[in-house]
Amino acid sequence: MKYFLILFIFLGCTQKYKTFHVIDKKNFDPENPQTPITKKLIRGQKNIEEFCTGQLFFFSNAKKESDQYLQRLVAYSCPQKEYLLDAKLTETWWTTIIYSRSCVELISYCPR
């Protein structure tokens, strides 16, 4: 029981959710979301993209790497389409004293 208490003190986890009705793939900014004005778009195929990266001690920045990769996830989702519909972005971070992990998951629908 003592070990679980110590592990609990040194382990932290955070999850953050964001939803977007329409994402313009060329002008996507998750910190300053803007919904573009488009013609009526109909949901098509569901698309799931995810990326995780780790950090040992202070040799890299896992959160920064996953944030940078998020732009690629958006760009590679639904090739040859300009927009993504009804997108849900989930960012997960967990950390211990020596190791941290950051993941992003983007669930969206391609327009028909």
Cα–Cα distance for residue pair 102/104, rounded to 1 Å: 7
pLDDT tens per residue across span 10-55: 667 888 899 988 888 888 888 777 777 777 888 889 999 999 988 8
CB 7 within 8 A of CB 98: no
For the record, the structure tokens of 43 come out as: 């949901």
The CA-CA-CA angle for residues 37, 85, 15, to 5°, reads 115
State pTM to two decimals. 0.78
CB 18 within 8 A of CB 104: no
Of 94 and 90, which is predicted with more confidence? 90
CB 62 within 8 A of CB 102: yes
